[in-house]
Amino acid sequence: MIPERAKALLLPVAALVVLELWACAIHLQSDSLAPPSAIAAALVEAVHDGSILIATRDTLISAFAGLLIGGAIGLAFGIALGIFHIFDRLMEVTIEAIRPIPSIALLPIALIALGFGYRMEIVIVAFACIWPILILSRAAVGGIEPRLIEVSRALRLSPADRVRKIIIPAALPRIFLAFRLAAGIALIVAVTVEIAINPIGLGAGIMTAQQALRPDLMLAYLLWIGAVGYLLNTGLVVAQNHLFGRAALVGDPA
């Protein structure tokens, strides 16, 4: 018998074999497709000479730096807006006016102001990450069980303690979810900036392979980016379960 977990792999493996045989049969010559064996060989070569690893490092540096900066700004504003309703109403129009701007549309301005390189990419990623974290942490704070707020009033906790001991821990599982969402966005935006213009990272790597008419290397990069995104999310899910395992049993289905 085939083990349960291996069954999920059956279909992809079969598809790869069929693709390989098909490419062989028609002697595939293409600028956009390559047989799986050629893609695998290109990937091994790119890992071996280190080019794809350096590109991964560059992309992840930009994505994480942007995520941290944008996340911190979004979190601070989200919590403040969730606590102070007056502040929320004052900022509402401003936020709703800025938020719909696609982050990538900032590229021309960022390029003039900051030039090529990490800084420009980090700024754009940070802009993209602010919004999901701001909106979701504001909702998380607004959705805290009102009874807990009453408990903090009855105990006369200081405002700082109220935020530190009640509001942040109560909202944390949902804030972490927002962080996971933003991490995915950070990677997407970083790679997009690189594909569009910035000559560093995985996005630039995929563009270079395309211009060099190397579909095998281009597709190798594509698979690699998918794997990086998958590992990033898996790592965050593991961290989430580890952090909130037992304590999150009640109160927050997320």
Using CB under 8 A, list all residues that contact another protein.
Answer: 145, 147-148, 150-151, 153-157, 161, 165-166, 169-170, 172, 244, 246-251
Q: Which is nearer to another protein, 98 or 247 (CB)?
A: 247
- To another protein, the closest distance from the beta carbon of 85 in angstroms equals 17
Q: Which is nearer to another protein, 24 or 151 (CB)?
A: 151
Q: Are 177 and 254 in contact (CB under 8 A)?
A: yes
Q: Which is nearer to another protein, 5 or 246 (CB)?
A: 246
Q: Which is nearer to another protein, 151 or 237 (CB)?
A: 151
- To another protein, the closest distance from the beta carbon of 223 in angstroms equals 39
Integer Cα distance of 160 and 164 in angstroms: 6
Q: Which is nearer to another protein, 57 or 165 (CB)?
A: 165
Q: Are 141 and 168 in contact (CB under 8 A)?
A: no
| Core vs surface per residue 129-157: b (16+ CB within 10 A) or e | bbbbbbbbbbbbbeebeeeebeebeeeeb
Q: Which is nearer to another protein, 1 or 249 (CB)?
A: 249
- To another protein, the closest distance from the beta carbon of 161 in angstroms equals 7
- To another protein, the closest distance from the beta carbon of 252 in angstroms equals 8
- To another protein, the closest distance from the beta carbon of 44 in angstroms equals 46
- To another protein, the closest distance from the beta carbon of 158 in angstroms equals 9
DSSP letters, 2-24, are --HHHHHHHHHHHHHHHHHHHHH
Integer Cα distance of 117 and 101 in angstroms: 22
Burial class of residue 61 in the structure, from the number of CB atoms within 10 Å of its CB (0-12 exposed, 13-18 middle, 19+ buried): middle
Integer Cα distance of 137 and 177 in angstroms: 9
Find the distance separating the first CA and the last CA of the chain, reported in whole Å. Answer: 37
